[in-house]
Each structure stands twice: as C-alpha cells, then as structure tokens.
Structure 1
Amino acid sequence: MGSPSDEELMERFCDGAPDAFEALFARHAARVQGFLTRMVRDAPLAEDLLQTTFLSVIRARGRYDPGTRFVPWLMTIAANAARDSLRHQRHVDAHASDEGSAEPTSASPPSGDPSLRRHLLDALQQLPPDHREAVVLSKVEGWSFDEIAALRGISAGAARLRAHRGYERLRELLDGLEAEA
C-alpha cells in the first residue's frame, strides 16, 4: 500500500494522531510558504503566516469534514491568513507617519533575470489582493478556475475575470516600465 492521502492523514489527525499532522506539514509546508511569500512579498512574514496557517489547521481540525479535499482547504486557510495580514498592513501603513513610510522587504526572487523578477513582484504587489491571488493560484500554482472558485466561494467565471483583470493590470504596469527604460 502506498502512502496515505492527505485526506486520510487529516482524518487520522482529527482522531488524535499527531504523526499525521507532522506528515501533512512536511508534505505541504514548502508549497504553502511559497504561496504566502508571493502573496505578501515578505519572506519573514510568510514564515510567520505559514506557522499561523498550520496552527489554524490544528485549531480547525474539529470543523474539518471527512472527505473534504485537504489541499484546497489548507490553501483557503493560507489565503485568508495572507489577506488578513495585507489588510492589517494597509491599516498600519495608512496610520504611519509620512516620514517613516514602510517599504516591504522583498522575498528572494526566483532564478532568472533578477531585475525582471523584481519588477514583476513589484507589479504583482500593486494588484488588488483578489486579483493577485487569482493570478498566483492560476499561473504559479497551476490551479484551474474551478478550483479557485471553490476556494473563494465564487463562480468559475468570477475567478477567471479576477485573473484576467490581474493579467491586464500586470501588462499595463510592465508596459509602463518598458516605456520608462
């Protein structure tokens, strides 16, 4: 017999098996952290949010319905943690003094042209969180619009529209960058 599915591990964890949680963490931590880093663009914050996400899994295990697909459930928790953090940061930034404006720290960019990666990450940060999430989930994580729709509780058409608007805005931002160069 092969290794247990995520859903089987989660059900075992709900039944009190801590090793099942450890297996889920080992299996998904890197993917979740990558997603969070792209969402908040701050590696130390993403690491904190990774811990928050898995702590939320522990706390929410009593509400996990057996048979629920684990990865979308986990990514919903991670996306909500990122969204809450971004909302909080906007609130803090709005009340910060003008002379001490907070500049987000950059996550280490993936390999390739560092300048292009930095510009892309900067442009991605300028998207509304819903559009950014749809772009990251569809293009980086490889999710279908149906999966994004299920994650957010919207229609597949709405998920597609969010991603499309995100792509269009990215194109505008990056075209503007070329014009400046």
Structure 2
Amino acid sequence: MGSPTDEELMDRFCDGEHAAFETLFARHAGRVQGFLTRMVRDGPLAEDLLQTTFLSVIRARGRYEPGTRFTPWLLTIAANAARDALRRRQHSEAYSQESDPLPSSVAPDVGDPGMRKRIENALQQLPPEQREAVLLSKVEGWSFEEIASMRGISTVAARVRAHRGYEKLRLLLGELGEA
C-alpha cells in the first residue's frame, strides 16, 4: 500500500502518534511557508507564522473532525495567523506613524526576478481579503466554494473578492508598463 494520506496521518496524530505529525510537517511546511510569505511579504515573520500555524495544529487536534480535508484546514489556520499578524502590524505602524508599511525582505524566486517583484508588489497593494482570494485560487488552486467555506462567506462573495483582486492586479501591473 502507498503512503498514508494527510487525513490518515492527522487521524493517527490525533490518536497520539507523534511521528504522523512530523510527516505532515515535512509534507506541508514548504507550501505553507510560501503561502505565508506571499501573504505577509516578510520572510522572518512568515517563518514565525509557520511555527504558529503548526503549533495551532497541535493545539487544535482535539477539534479536528475525522474526514476533514487536511490541506484546506491547515491553510485556513495559516491564513488566519497571517491576517492576525497583518492586523497587528497595521495597528502598530499606525501607532508609531512609520511611513514604510511593507518590508522588502523577501527575495524573489527564480524566473524573471523583475516581473516577480512587480507582481509581489502589486499583490501587497490589494486589500487582505482580495490578496487571500487571489493567492488561494490562483496559487493554491482552491475552488471558490472552498474559499467561501473557509471564510464563512458565499461562493459569489469569494468569486467577487478574487475578481476584484485580479482586476486591481491588472491595473497595477498595467501602470507598470505590463500588458
């Protein structure tokens, strides 16, 4: 038989098998960190939030419902941690009157670094709900139904958030001379 599914591993972890958690962490840490980095655009903060996310998995294991799809559940925890961090950062920046709200410590991946940087900068200009909808639908491949379920909103609302995000990205990237 092949390797166990994420859901089987989570069930085993809930039953006290710590090695199952280590396997889940190894499988998903990179993907979750990439998602968090795109959400908060701060490498060290994303690393902290990765730890927070998996600590939340440990704490929430008693509330994990058998049969729940693991990856959407995990990314929901990560998205909530990112949103909380963005809210805290926004609050502290408003309080301290700093003029540069976006750290630029994330190195672009391989590919066209200039275009990647323009896309990352444009993503950061989206409201968090739109940025999350765009990242989940385009980068993570989630359906609007999954996004709606995660956020507790209608599928139409999820689609509208993503659509508005795509439109704003098109405008922002168009302003940068990209068609």
TM-score normalised per structure 2: 0.94
Q: For residue 21 of structure 1, what is the aligned residue in structure 2?
A: 21
Q: For residue 105 of structure 1, what is the aligned residue in structure 2?
A: 104
Deviation readout 1:118-139 (Å, 9 max, x if unpaired): 1111110010101000101111
Give the aligned CA root-mean-square deviation in angstroms: 1.5
**Pairs within 5 Å for 1:4-153:** 4-98=4-98, 101-153=100-152
Pairs aligned (count): 178
CA distance in 2, matches of 1:153, 1:96: 33
CA distance in 1, matches of 2:31, 2:153: 23
Contact 2:90 2:101 in 1 (8 A): no
CA distance in 1, matches of 2:34, 2:20: 22
Letter in 1 for 2:162: A
Q: For residue 170 of structure 1, what is the aligned residue in structure 2?
A: 169
Deviation at 1:102?
Answer: 4.8
User: Quick check: 17-26 or 148-157, which moved more?
Assistant: 148-157
CA distance in 2, matches of 1:138, 1:95: 33
CA distance in 2, matches of 1:153, 1:51: 25
Deviation at 1:112?
Answer: 2.1
State, as a whole percentage, how many aligned pairs show the same letter. 71
1:143 alignment partner, SS class: coil
Letter in 2 for 1:136: L
Rate the CA distance shift 1:153–1:102 in 2: closer, same or farther, 3 A: closer
Unaligned runs of 5+ in 2: none
CA distance in 2, matches of 1:37, 1:59: 23
Deviation at 1:110?
Answer: 2.0
Is 1:158 the counterpart of 2:134? The answer is: no
Unaligned runs of 5+ in 1: none
CA distance in 1, matches of 2:95, 2:104: 19
Rate the CA distance shift 1:146–1:19 in 2: closer, same or farther, 3 A: same
